[in-house]
Amino acid sequence: MCRVKEQTKEATPGNAACLIKIDKWLLTIGHRHSGKLDLPGGLSNGQESAQCTAHRETWEETGFNVEVGAFLGENEAGFRFYACQLQDDFGSEMKAFPVPDWSRMEISSIQLTDPFEIQIHDWRFEEELLQIRALFNKADETDEKPSDIE
């Protein structure tokens, strides 16, 4: 089931990722094959909205059942980025999270990272890092707590 904040729901298809901001931290994943950091996200299955792609890919890569919110922007290839929220009980006290068994073939780590301290050569798609930082700042404008799960 795709969790999308009702007031931001859209039917736009596409590949997408979740930008998850916790205080001054960005939730990032480490890719096993490249050894570089990225946002949780990926390719659409062709039958889902970009928001549902962001939700599904975040679940598959991290095990987190986020609520997908506002559209933040897209890169030159049309990859879409959304502000996503974790449940209220997530704080910045814990900086690293266990990788689910099912995603260990692709994901080597899940952690909170300061997006302004990441070196460009440590980001999976180097040309995206400046945009990710701008979207991180833009996420402040859309910060709202997830609605209750029914």
Confirm whether 112 is domain-assigned.
Answer: yes
Residue 142: the pLDDT is 61
* Local confidence pLDDT in tens for the 150 residues of the chain: 799 998 899 899 999 999 999 989 999 999 999 999 999 999 999 889 999 999 999 999 999 999 999 999 999 999 999 999 997 667 778 899 999 999 999 999 999 999 999 999 999 999 999 999 999 999 877 655 444 433
Are 29 and 60 in contact, with CB atoms under 8 Å apart? Answer: no
CATH number of domain containing 57: 3.90.79.10
Confirm whether 66 is domain-assigned.
Answer: yes
Tell me how far apart the alpha carbons of residues 129 and 122 are, in angstroms, rounded to a whole number.
Answer: 10
Confirm whether 1 is domain-assigned.
Answer: no
Confirm whether 43 is domain-assigned.
Answer: yes
Distances in whole angstroms, Cα of residue 111 to Cα of each of 10, 39, 89, 122: 29, 10, 16, 14
Confirm whether 150 is domain-assigned.
Answer: no
Expressed as residue numbers, the domain containing 78 is 6-142
Domain tally for the chain? Answer: 1
Confirm whether 147 is domain-assigned.
Answer: no
